[in-house]
Amino acid sequence: MSGYQNHRGSVSLRRLNGQDLYDRLETEVHNRLVNLLDGKSPILEIGCGDCRHADRLAHSLGTRVVGIDISNEKFPVDKHQYSAECIQIDAESASVTLSEKFVGAVARFVVHELKHPELVLREVFKVMESGGLIVLADPIKGSIAEQLYNEEYYTAGQLAGFLGSAGFHDIEYELLGEGNLALVVGKKQ
């Protein structure tokens, strides 16, 4: 992975809407997650929402994926509909609730939504095996996403700092989506 690349690409806001950007970024993020987490099991997905991305990851990797979200409103009614297991848990107390240890963890498009991102990442650290890999994927400050979604995001450096504060090492990041999203990877030693 490379360090920070200071560019925003040439995507015109007039030609791009929020769903188009999200779909493009999600596809790129999914492909990177498959490469980074291949052979790792089980994997924890933080902020899994409706469980579809956790399910897609489980299918792509052929591995066990457990998704957690503070709300179960969007979970599928039929629990057997997805390969991933999605459960309602407050990520701020994940280590108290989860007894399983994870070799991989993912937080995609969710860090900016967390009230206490450092607390959540410390909790994730506690439920990870030594050598486990965590991947954060979030739009960054100054990105097109800020303008399209009217949300505030962190810089890639801040996201990396959250992982460092939580205890992760070997932290690297790269920008995807023409510089609009940071993919930050850390390891539990």
Per DSSP, the three-state class of 108 is strand
Instruction: Read off the pTM.
Output: 0.88
d(CA 84, CA 81): 9
CATH number of this structure's domain 18-40+97-187: 3.40.50.150
| Per-residue pLDDT tens digits for 61-117 | 999 999 999 987 777 666 667 889 999 999 999 999 999 999 999 999 999 999 999
Is residue 9 within 8 Å of 21, Cβ to Cβ?
no
